[in-house]
Amino acid sequence: PERQEGNEPPSLLGPERQEGNEPPSLLGPPVSDEEQRHIESESRVPSDYEVDPDARYSGTVDFYSKLKGYGFIEVGDKNALPEERIFVQWRNIDSKDRFPFLVKGLEVEFGIMKWRDSSRRGQVSLRAKNVTLPGGVAVHLQDEIDAAKKQFIGSQEGRYTGQLKFFNPKAGYGYITVDPGFSVEGVSIPTELRVERSEVNAGGHQPQWMQNLAVEFGIWMTSRGVPKAYNVTLPGGAALTQSALENRKALGGQTYRGEVQMWNWRQGWGFIKADASVALPPHVQAKLTQQTQAAAQKAASKGRTGSDEELLYVRKADVALGVKLQKGSQVMFQIYVDDKGVGALEVQTI
């Protein structure tokens, strides 16, 4: 698929959901207006409130909804922050679980950031960031909880293979066709399984749209005796991350300079033009030229005039934390190649 301005390339595996354009709740029903007012009223602060970006606080999880992907932390030191309860979202949990989550009563450590809500007249609130276990240890709860609460066909470590027919991130589920030949004494192995979002191992990120993909998984039984897929990965156990699905290969070490030619801030992607003095490795230059020619040919087939500029693709996830890009920004970056062409990562403004 081409990479050209105004046309975000679809995933090779199907329609791709853009970062920054997800539904209000990534894990379940949208947050209601009443819930949102409750969230914001808990930790609202003046716009000029100063936050120490390096400070760490301790607290206890007071509430967390795994379905909706958010909760509250009760601050240990009641005088440390303006409010005693701080909002936390799954994105800000440092986790080794398939999908980050917390449980009520868990002792945690966290930092603080300001959050400005443009939909509510720019109201500013405090939210937890980089939430870990005490001592900075990444949160890792899922395997232990599953061992205690889930019933498995075979065992928790048992693995099966099959074909992921599709996974729809908006709906939050998909279906897997199980490869024939598996047997467990006294148990019938189903030929098809449903997989829920929480069992798609995307390395702690939001799973994307996927279809017709070879996968590996376990099988667990619901309380009603319905078998479902468990801990779905690529064959061999690799997480279903976008970089793995697109066969990304980072070319570490060398840093390049360039200028942002286009940035879609709503959807979190854009293009960078490398500085004219930059000499890319021959195989990278060849792939970039091929990518540009393919884009121009596809545009021509649709009656449009394609650009002949050789541009590197960049996603928000590959931009350094806290860096905001816009057209004309001068940047430093490293390079990767994947099935789609050439992209930039570790992007920082100069």
The DSSP-derived string for 218-271 is EEEE-TTS-EEEEEEESTTS----HHHHTT-EEEEEEEEEEEEEEEETTTTEEE
pLDDT digits (tens, 9 = 90+) for 245-297: 888 898 877 899 999 999 998 888 999 999 988 888 999 999 999 989 888 88
pLDDT digits (tens, 9 = 90+) for 157-195: 999 999 999 999 888 899 999 999 998 888 889 999 999
Burial class (CB in 10 A: 0-12, 13-18, 19+), 16: middle
The pTM assigned to this predicted structure is: 0.65
State the pLDDT at residue 320.
Answer: 86
In angstroms, what CA-CA distances link 53 with 82, 83, 111, 130, 348?
A: 16, 17, 7, 11, 19
pLDDT band (50, 70, 90) for residue 18: very low
